[in-house]
Amino acid sequence: MMTQALRFKNKVAIVTGAAQGIGEGVAIALAKEGAKVILADRSDLVDDVAKKLGKLKAKSLTVKVDLETYAGASKLISEAVKAFKKIDIIVNNVGGTIWAKPYENYDEDQIEAEIRRSLFPTLWCCRAVLPVMIKQQHGVVVNISSIATRSIHRIPYAAAKGGVNAMTASLAFEHAKDGIRFNAVATGGTEAPPRKIPRNKNKLSKQEEVWYQGIIDQTIDSSLMHRYGTIEEQVRAILFLASDESSYITGTVLPVGGGDLG
């Protein structure tokens, strides 16, 4: 076995959606294991994460971009290469359900917003980073998916994450020849502090609270362990796939949902 504390020594890693939640957890864990970390987010909250990495004496770079656009993804990759000359790892973590309700209650704009939020950042970042990793002839991409591909009250989000799974498998086929591995972690329900910036800024109606509770109940019921996981439990799986310990794994979606395979 490798010395775990040194798994990412001399590695350059990008983490998108790094300002809070799983993204923040991944960024801190990578830094603790020796990585130089690029923190990508569109929120100023990412500056607080950078301060935490500074206390660890880790080298980092903060890039504030909107990854729902290709221009934002391109800027992120350009800034990372400018600062560190290479990109060994990218963890594409941006995404998350905005509205929770039966599909017939979504309007057109909401459906498009869900897809932009939970599919396009991964599509754009994979496209933007590929030329760099092809030139290097190595790289690791870990896309954050979800077991919500089989769930209730979030069909557009499920469709977006199904797209993440499909592109992960297909990109692995295309680019194994270039020494690039693509995998995904399908996260299950995860206990996390309340979001500092909610995805949906509007207060939920009584009916929306019922629909959201339906997601929680279904998630717990579908898990063989009948509980939510922790951020740390998700981070461990993500770091495994980002590390050389998973060197013979590509094109795989790893469910981390207490037995719920999504």
Question: Which pLDDT tens digit goes with each residue over 209-229?
Answer: 999 999 999 999 999 999 999
pLDDT category at 5 given cuts 50, 70, 90 is low
Ramachandran quadrant class, 11 (left: phi over 0; alpha: psi -120 to 50; beta: rest) = beta
Q: Give residue 230's pLDDT band: very low, low, confident or very high (50, 70, 90).
A: very high
Q: What is the DSSP string of 69-101?
A: SHHHHHHHHHHHHHHHS---EEEE-----S--S
Reported as a single tens digit per residue, the pLDDT across 128-187 is 999 999 999 999 999 999 999 999 999 999 999 999 999 999 999 999 999 999 999 999
- Please give the average per-residue pLDDT across 69-94, as a whole number: 98
| Higher pLDDT pick, 67 / 203 | 67
pLDDT-derived band of residue 6, with 50, 70 and 90 as boundaries? confident
Q: In Å, what is the CA distance from 180 to each residue of 6, 76, 170, 242, 260?
A: 21, 19, 12, 11, 28
Helix (H), strand (E) at residue 66: none
**Measured distance CA(65)–CA(37) in Å, rounded:** 16
- pLDDT of 53 > 70? The answer is yes
- pLDDT surpasses 50 at 236: yes
Average pLDDT for 84-108? 97
Torsion of CA 182, 83, 135, 77, to 10 degrees: 50
Q: Residue 1: pLDDT above 50? A: no
What single string gives the DSSP state of each residue in 3-47?
-GGGTTTT-EEEEESTTSHHHHHHHHHHHHTT-EEEEEESSTTHH
pLDDT at 201: 75
Percentage of the chain exceeding pLDDT 70: 97
Q: How far apart are CA 250 and CA 160, in angstroms?
A: 21
pLDDT at residue 198, rounded to an integer: 66
What average pLDDT does this structure show over 106-134?
A: 98
What is the tally of helices (H) and strands (E) in the chain? Answer: 8, 9
pLDDT over 60 at 2, yes or no: no
Residues 6+ apart with CB under 8 A from 182: 126, 141, 143, 168, 169, 171, 172, 175, 250, 251
Average pLDDT value for residue range 249-255: 98
pTM for the structure as a whole: 0.95
- Statement: residue 4 has pLDDT above 70: no
Alpha-carbon distance 92 to 184, whole Å?
9
Q: How far apart are CA 78 and CA 61, in angstroms?
A: 12
pLDDT in tens, 14-27: 999 999 999 999 99
Distance CA 15, CA 93 (A): 7
Question: Distance between alpha carbon 19 and the CA centroid of its chain, in Å?
Answer: 12
What's the token pair of residue 253?
Answer: 């979606």
Give 187-213 pLDDT, tens digit per residue.
999 998 776 666 777 888 999 999 999
Q: What is the mean pLDDT of the chain?
A: 95
Q: Which residues pair with 142 in a beta bridge?
A: 91, 183
Contact 189, 152 (CB under 8 A): no
Domain locations in the chain?
Answer: 4-256
Kindly list the catalytic residues: 157
User: Which top CATH class is 4-256?
Assistant: alpha beta
Residue 84: predicted pLDDT? 98
Characterize the bridge pairing of strands 252-256 and 180-187: parallel
The separation between CA 261 and the C-alpha centre of its own chain, rounded to angstroms, equals: 18
pLDDT at 3: 44
